[in-house]
Amino acid sequence: MKEMSANTMLDSQRQQKHYGITSPISLACPKEIDHIYTQKLIDAMKPFGVFEDEEELNHRLVVLGKLNNLVKEWISDISESKNLPPSVVATVGGKIFTFGSYRLGVHTKGADIDALCVAPRHVERSDFFQSFFEKLKHQDGIRNLRAVEDAFVPVIKFEFDGIEIDLVFARLAIQTISDNLDLRDDSRLRSLDIRCIRSLNGCRVTDEILHLVPNKETFRLTLRAVKLWAKRRGIYSNMLGFLGGVSWAMLVARTCQLYPNAAASTLVHKFFLVFSKWEWPNPVLLKQPEESNLNLPVWDPRVNPSDRYHLMPIITPAYPQQNSTYNVSTSTRTVMVEEFKQGLAVTDEILQGKSDWSKLLEPPNFFQKYRHYIVLTASASTEENHLEWVGLVESKIRVLVGNLERNEFITLAHVNPQSFPGNKEHHKANNYVSMWFLGIIFRRVENAESVNIDLTYDIQSFTDTETGAAVWKKEKNNEIISKRLSLPQSLSDVSRSSGGLQSKRSSLDSSCLDSSRDTDSGTPFHSPVSTNKSSNPDSPAGEVERNSTEPATVVVEKLPRVPPAQGLSIPVIGAEVDPTAKAASSPPVCTIPTVVGRNVIPRVTTPHNPVQGQPHLNGLSNISKNVTPKRSHSPPTDGTSKRLKDIEKFIRLESAFKDSRAAEDRKRKPMRLPSKELPDSSSPVPASNIRVIKNSIRLTLNR
């Protein structure tokens, strides 16, 4: 009998509940040393404010309770105003659900709460944005109340007793909303409009993730560590093409499924092990997609051709299943995989006792990682306009990244999610300035001493996108707002040394799905420091590009401006500026100076040649014949002229340097500041006397 009992216990252990679409990799239980490493991990995270104390947690519960009561009162009042019977009004109900980081239990100090207001079928969305909005307006403790009704997921944002809340709305096709309502039931989606389905999706996905992990507490601690690591390493932003909070949660949940009994310290290491070796674009699934007769669109590459082009699919577990990473591009995936590998190497050292957890949370050296940068600046005259303008520009940065990736001479375009305050001296009419930095790696071309790279189409396309978005927003809001986009219309001629590299895979356009904004305040970053690094001829092209021996060049203090009537021009980064030189008038197309890398090559575009059918490549007749031709979709000169006229009222060209350079000036070496004038690692980025770091291109968008 004892033997049978022992065998039964052994069988029950073997028949442990199965999580995920595959069997676990290991069922090993944690050892004493694993618990020690887990405690050290917790201690390393505490200084970053990732844990709330009991008082703060209780305050959130009190605020949510007040909000839930407000919702029930409002629904009851609406029901009476619509002449429902008193018996129905007494039981109509209404409820607040939470989702996102708060629902997962991984929110940080001061984080907002994502909440969902669920109402019965007789309450309209218009009621939510009118009568409930008015009710909130007269409620004590409510501040910064604003409605974003035209968003992909319409939302009311406000502060309630010091807690920021994003409240979305959904009405179900039922007469009453009970307190024990379960939103995981797919039948709740029946007969709902798409906005309600989107609003419900956040709660349904969050609840499903928690349902699919073997140990919720271990999952939460591991997710806190991974999210903090991602924010510190600059790869936490769904909007900019990295991963958002839900995507990181699903990756951690999949790791927990593969190692269901492991401690948090082990799971962090296994997280990096699994996803540094993951064969993308194979999708990450927490469970097998379920069929439904609701006929809602779901992620399925067998049916939807566009789904086959997603580069890093992570599929939400709740119906309708969607890819949460449709914004990921070739560059952002490359950066994240590199970070996974770096994280694996660091955690290997930690678990071997050679290092500690603080090393994993060190910020990257973004401003020493690349040789060339693009600096994108957005400015506005008032704080309110600046917040709106920055949000619009930031939401389109991934368009610029995609344009750059499709350029055959660019292998990587890495945007830093952290924005920085800009220098107001260059924007005297606008007191509010923000900057983003994009690190660029150029492809090295075989058998060519130098090559001119034309970024005209890439920048023009981004300008048109921003202009179109600004005009659309202006018309939609019926506001008379003067928007000015200051961008170089032609950014070209990045002179590069020769070298071999195969053509890269072009990135694919992101889908039309919306991207949620993920923000993180309080993540420190260090300033750029000029360093000389030796290049290894046997290293990959990307490493050769990053470790070039060319020292950093810095833009001079004053930026002269060229009126639009004088033609198109771009900054000449790294060359001396002659203050006595006068801006030369442009030829019929444009005169485009060079952004120097090592050698400076003058370039003047030529008018369209009807005999040849197209102008010379990059406007140069003596370019090496071994250089790959430019892509055929570069805009013709007459088309560019027409487009400039169409958006003349919105676009003003701004040039950082004069484009009339004497031949002897072009031969000079780039002017560099002494190393003592460059910012040190502890100063803010960028320092006040540094305009653009290294070989950089400045793009300015003003409102």
Let me know: does 678 contact 518? Beta carbons within 8 Å: no
Instruction: Phi first, then psi: give them for residue 604, nearest 5 degrees.
Output: -130, 120
Three-state DSSP at 166 gives: strand
31 is catalytic: no
Burial pattern 12-46, b for ≥16 Cβ within 10 A else e, equals: eeeeeeebbeeebeeeeebeeebeebbeebbebbe
Instruction: Measure the CA–CA gap between 2 and 8, rounded to whole angstroms.
Output: 10
112 assigned to active site:
yes
- Rounded to an integer, what distance in angstroms lies between the CA atom of residue 96 and that of residue 261? 34
- How far apart (Å, rounded) are the C-alpha atoms in residues 615 and 276? 45
CA distance 375 to 692: 7
The 10s digit of each residue's pLDDT in 359-404 is 999 999 999 999 999 999 888 888 888 888 888 888 889 999 999 9
Residue 348: phi and psi, rounded to 5, are: -60, -45
Distance in angstroms (rounded) separating the CA atoms of residues 481 and 649 = 12
Is 665 assigned a catalytic role?
A: no
Rounded CA separation 429/615 (Å): 39
281 sits in which H/E element: none
Instruction: Please pick, among 19, 34, 95, 101, the residue that the annotation labels catalytic.
Output: 101
The catalytically annotated residue of 112, 161, 514, 665 is 112
Do 233 and 7 contact (CB within 8 A), yes or no? Answer: no
Q: How many whole angstroms separate alpha carbon 265 and alpha carbon 32? A: 12
pLDDT for residue 432? 86
Among candidate residues 19, 37, 236, 432, the one labeled active-site is 236
In the predicted structure, residue 324 carries a pLDDT above the cut 70 = yes
DSSP code of residue 128 = I
Residue 174: count other Cβ atoms within 10 Å of its Cβ. Answer: 16
Q: Residue 101 catalytic?
A: yes
Q: Return d(Cα 142, Cα 159) in angstroms, integer.
A: 6
Split at pLDDT 50, 70, 90, the class of 340 is very high
Note the residue count of the chain: 703
Among 114, 454, 458, 518, which one carries the catalytic annotation? 114
More confident residue, 600 or 366: 366
Question: How many other C-beta atoms lie within 10 A of the C-beta of residue 318?
Answer: 24
pLDDT of 415 above 70: yes
Give start and end residues of each alpha helix (H) in 277-329: none
**Collapsed DSSP state (helix, strand, coil) of residue 695:** strand
Residue 377's beta-bridge partner residues? Answer: 435, 700
Per-residue pLDDT, 517:
37
pLDDT digits (tens, 9 = 90+) for 163-186: 999 999 999 999 999 989 999 999
More confident residue, 601 or 171: 171
* Separation between Cα atoms, residue 41 and residue 358, nearest integer Å: 8
Catalytic residue among 95, 227, 231, 483: 227
pTM of structure? 0.70
Give per-residue pLDDT as tens, 430-442.
778 899 999 999 9
Return the structure tokens found at 401.
Answer: 């990244």
Residues 6+ apart with CB under 8 A from 479: none
Task: For 47-72, write each residue's pLDDT tens digit.
Answer: 999 999 999 999 999 999 999 999 99
Per residue in 142-161, pLDDT (tens digit) is 999 999 888 889 999 999 99
Residue 501: phi and psi, rounded to 5, are -165, 140
Strands 372-380 and 695-702: parallel
Q: Which of 278, 273, 271 is nearest to 222 (CA)?
A: 271
C-alpha span between 82 and 527 (Å, rounded) = 60
Q: Is 236 a catalytic residue?
A: yes
How far is 126 from 148, CA to CA, in rounded Å?
Answer: 13
Active site residue 533: no
Residue 114, amino acid: D
Catalytic residue among 34, 166, 307, 454: 166
Q: How far apart are CA 581 and CA 658, in angstroms?
A: 7
Averaged pLDDT, 345-353: 96
pLDDT at position 291 over 90:
no
